[in-house]
Amino acid sequence: MKLFSNLFKNAARKITLSKPFTMWQDSDVFASFPSLIDSPKGIMLSFRVAPREPIVHGLYPAHQQHLHPRSFLAFTRLDGDYRGGAVKLFDADIFAADQDPNLFRLSDNSLLLTSFAWRPLVGSQAAPLEQAIFKEKTSDVSALFWGGFSSISKDDGESWSARQYLPSLPGYPEIVPGSRPWHGGRHRGQVIELSGGRLLVGSYDRAPGATAFSSYLHVSPDLGKTWKYGGVILSDPDGRIGYAEPTLLATKDGTLLALHRTFGAGDRLAVSRSRDEGRTWSQSEFADVVGHPYHVVAVSAEVGVLLYGVRDVPCSIRGRLINLENGKIATEEFVIQTGATVKDIGYPTGIAVSKNEVLVAYYWVDSRGSRYIEGVTIQLD
């Protein structure tokens, strides 16, 4: 239990955590990057799945993390105890291996899914664009960035529209000359819906010749039917600090916040602000928060929970309260889960399941090295 008293006008907030519980696990499956959304049919959990390839299988020379060629987005409904069951897979792009799912409820009650994909490279296959390759050191597997995309469900996640890849990033070359633009950048984060069905989503990537990531905005004027490039959110002209995995948040006064993971800044949270609905953004402000990536759960019009992972052994999942009226973050931090001796864990997400309770999901590792989706409930009194 932890008490917060310096952030809100009303009474102090008391935090009580449940014991961690397994939300979804299959010992043969690497499960990661969860996303939660409430639904009349039951809470939906989405996450990335891929075959688990421990070294003993001999298929990979070392631990395989995030570039498996058979990587899919999975969906399951949670029961009354917040446990998932059988999964349904999102339709694959024949060329791609999908990564982080992000779920969002639109004002017309449809669901928006946003994600990004890699195209695995086979054996000694030469890449048409070397700077678009990501090579995973732990497995020696390489893949070509294939683009950020969105999809819409009109039946509460039972079926999904064909994926729609984001427009190309200005100044970036074609991934495959003459046939494949650089579609939108990588994406893990929350979407904002403004008045009139205008959606904002952030992405990040490293421009050719650049040494650090920059973050970008993408805008849909029609609830995700079409997208256009919306400009740079945050970039370091000196190339010393990278800004990645921006999640977007709107405060009560209409200010938009972009919360960034950073490289070259001690993994501190960087915040940029927009007071004109994302058309322009301030320079970065560094908060006294270490971890990544960031997810905000609104509990009320005033109170939110900021979630993030810390990959500093022993690794942990942590949180702070955040004032949704002004964006101020509590100085006190609470630990949700801790003790992992490997850094490949985290990416918490959450939803409010009542006026004072939050359900949190993240991926964790067991004693056999199997990654699975774990949950915790947070009570705010």
pLDDT digits (tens, 9 = 90+) for 265-313: 999 999 999 999 999 999 999 999 999 999 999 999 999 999 999 999 9
- pTM of the prediction? 0.94
CATH number at residue 276: 2.120.10.10
Higher local confidence (pLDDT), 367 or 200 = 200
Distances (CA, A) of 129 to 94, 133, 177, 206: 20, 7, 8, 13
Domain count, the chain: 2
Taking residues 70-95, what's their average pLDDT?
A: 96
> Are both 278 and 312 inside the same structural domain?
no
> Are both 376 and 245 inside the same structural domain?
no
Q: Give percent of the chain with pLDDT exceeding 70.
A: 91
> Are both 200 and 64 inside the same structural domain?
yes
Q: Is the predicted pLDDT of residue 121 greater than 60, yes or no?
A: yes
Higher local confidence (pLDDT), 10 or 350 = 350
d(CA 220, CA 230): 9
Q: What is the pLDDT of residues 222-244, one digit of tens each?
A: 999 999 999 999 999 999 999 99
Residues, the chain:
381
Q: Residue 177 CB: number of other CB atoms within 10 A?
A: 9
> Are both 70 and 174 inside the same structural domain?
yes
Average pLDDT, the chain: 91
Do 337 and 23 meet the contact criterion of CB atoms below 8 Å apart?
A: no
Q: Residues 251, 255, 261, 265: is their CA dihedral positive or negative? A: negative
Domain extent, residue 98, equals: 13-295
Strand partners, 181: none
Q: Is the predicted pLDDT of residue 122 greater than 90, yes or no?
A: no
- Could you list the beta-strand ranges (E) of 158-291: 164-165, 192-194, 198-205, 214-220, 228-234, 242-250, 256-263, 268-274, 285-290
pLDDT classification of 56: cutoffs 50, 70, 90: low
Do 82 and 104 meet the contact criterion of CB atoms below 8 Å apart?
A: no
> Are both 275 and 324 inside the same structural domain?
no
> Are both 39 and 59 inside the same structural domain?
yes
Q: What is the pLDDT of residue 368?
A: 85
Residue 61 is which amino acid? P
> Are both 95 and 72 inside the same structural domain?
yes
Could you check whether the bond before residue 314 is cis, i.e. omega within 30 degrees of 0?
A: yes
Which of 276, 295, 314 is the last residue before a domain boundary?
Answer: 295
Which of 250, 272, 295 is the last residue before a domain boundary?
Answer: 295
> Are both 283 and 355 inside the same structural domain?
no
Strand partners, 292: 309
Taking residues 114-137, what's their average pLDDT?
A: 76
Residue 152 is which amino acid? I
pLDDT classification of 55: cutoffs 50, 70, 90: low
> Are both 26 and 125 inside the same structural domain?
yes
> Are both 173 and 231 inside the same structural domain?
yes
> Are both 4 and 28 inside the same structural domain?
no
Which of 295, 310, 337 is the last residue before a domain boundary?
Answer: 295
Q: What is the pLDDT of residue 133?
A: 80
Backbone phi, psi, residue 197, to 5°: 80, 25
> Are both 5 and 18 inside the same structural domain?
no
